Amino acid sequence: MEKLSEMKAIRAAYGEALVALGAENKRVVVLDADLSHATMTLNFSRQYPKRFFNAGIAEANMVCMAAGLSTMGFVPFCSSFAIFGAGRAYEQVRNSVAYPHFNVKLAMTHAGITLGEDGGSHQAIEDMALMRVIPGMTVVVPCDANETKKAVFAAATINGPVYLRLARPATRVFEQNMSFTLGKANVMRSGTDIVLFACGIMVATAMECAAALSQHGISVAVVNIHTVKPIDRVCVLKWAQRCKRVVTMEEHSVIGGLGDAVSDVLLGNGNFAFTKIGVQDRFGQSGKPEMLLAEYGLDTAGSLARIKTLLG
């Protein structure tokens, strides 16, 4: 499972997946908040113009429009930047979509600090926490372009709200035959000394860390938790109990995200050495993605430093 191929943006894969899904399912409609060039929903708008709705810079209205469309039997996908779709429109997501359990898919791009030069005001580092706490919300954070396409199709098959957290930059693409089932984690690498639970773009970083540590005789397991809610409790507990040392890796605040989801599973189920790699209660800032990842300790070097402290 370690083979890596080309680089491709997760948001680009999202745009392609929408077009393919739209061809299969005529009930799929797409809404955007005047950011279709950035979210890549522009591809769908060109292919199916009558099934695309630009709500303008009005994310709350967009979410409510999607809620209404879902009651008519459509499968709406809403897109904007994560800071706007999960942040600005939070009340509408909660009360107009999740409270009545409407079949709306919230696919929000440009999540995390790798949004880059737009700066801290636009970098969503708390969106997973916001979506996790909403009853009935499924939260998915795909790790690469291939997994994104599978996640889009899977989201369309379930009845209820789904939050898809999508990254901006080009990231590593894993081998084509990686399986995907909502709620089931993927074991990317087996190990016995320490387990790295990661989501999104941090999966590739976890694999790089594991490869580096293996050169020193350290056996590292890597588990891709693409579905943060509902989390795969069986898989998490199995690998935590096997390795005893546990690390979570996410491009998100360490408060309320993957780290807390994993710790909820482990609480009362054994004794573990545990650390969370993520944004440490700070806002983002303006800078190139690779510089920001290094600044916040989320690049390979920074992650390795944190992992080694747990190894002793």
Q: 87 in a domain, yes or no? A: yes
Tell me, yes or no, whether 180 lies in a domain.
no
Same domain, 219 and 155: no
- Residues 16, 165 share a domain: yes
Of 126, 148, 174, the one marking the end of a domain is: 174
User: Do 126 and 217 belong to one domain?
Assistant: no
Q: What is the pLDDT of residues 201-237, one digit of tens each?
A: 999 999 999 999 999 999 999 999 999 999 999 999 9
| Residues in contact with 14: Cβ distance below 8 Å, sequence separation at least 6, in sequence order | 39, 40, 79, 107, 109, 148, 149, 152, 164, 166
pLDDT at 5 over 70: no
C-beta of residue 218 within 8 angstroms of C-beta of residue 310: no
What token pair was written down for 245? 């040392």
Q: Are residues 78 and 28 in the same domain?
A: yes
CATH code where residue 277 lies: 3.40.50.920
Rg, the chain, Cα only: 19
Instruction: Kindly report the backbone phi and psi dihedral angles of residue 83, in degrees, each rounded to the nearest multiple of 5, phi listed first.
Output: -65, -30
Residues 133 and 90 in one domain: yes
Is pLDDT at 3 greater than 90 in this prediction?
no
Residue whose pair of structure tokens reads 């084509």 in the numeric block: 176
Over the stretch 110-158, which tens digit does the pLDDT of each residue have?
999 999 899 999 999 999 999 999 999 999 999 999 999 999 999 999 9
The boundaries of the domain holding residue 227 are 186-311
Alpha helices, DSSP H only, in the chain? 10-24, 36-39, 42-47, 59-71, 82, 90-92, 127-132, 145-157, 202-214, 233-243, 258-266, 289-295, 300-311
Q: What is the number of structural domains in the chain?
A: 2
- Same-domain pairing of 258 and 230: yes
Q: Which tens digits make up the pLDDT trace of 46-93?
A: 999 999 999 999 999 999 999 999 999 999 999 999 999 999 999 999
Query: Which whole number is the average pLDDT over 169-198?
Result: 92
Residue 267 CA to residue 309 CA, distance in Å, equals 22
Query: 133-168: buried (b, 16+ CB within 10 Å) or exposed (e) per residue?
Result: ebeebbbbbbbbbbbbbbbbebbbeeebbbbbbbbb
Task: Tell whether 138 is covered by a domain.
Answer: yes
User: Does residue 90 share a domain with residue 34?
Assistant: yes
Residues 219 and 78 in one domain: no
In terms of domains, do 140 and 194 share one? Answer: no
Q: What is 64-100 written as a DSSP string? A: HHHHHHHHTT-EEEEEEEHIIIIIITHHHIIIIIITT
- In 10 A of CB 178, how many CB atoms? 17
Verify that 21 and 101 share a domain, yes or no: yes
Assess if residue 179 is contained within a domain: no
Token pair of 235 as six digits: 């898989």
Q: Let me know if residue 181 belongs to a domain.
A: no
The answer on 240 and 146 residing in a single domain is: no
What pLDDT is recorded for position 176? 63
The C-alpha torsion from 259 through 260 and 264 to 266, rounded to 10°, is 30
Q: Active-site residue among 6, 59, 147, 250? A: 59
Q: Would you say residue 160 lies in a domain?
A: yes
Which uninterrupted H or E stretch holds 162? strand 162-165
CA distance 290 to 115: 10
Contacts of 46 (CB under 8 A, 6+ apart): none
> E strand or H helix at 106, and its extent?
strand 105-109
What pLDDT is attached to residue 312? 78
Any domain includes 21: yes
CA 307 to chain centre: 22
Which of 174, 199, 221 is at the close of a domain? Answer: 174
Whichever domain contains 75, its CATH number is 3.40.50.970
Does residue 1 carry a pLDDT above 80? Answer: no
The question of whether 59 is a catalytic residue gets the answer yes
Is 191 inside a domain boundary? yes
One domain, residues 162 and 199: no
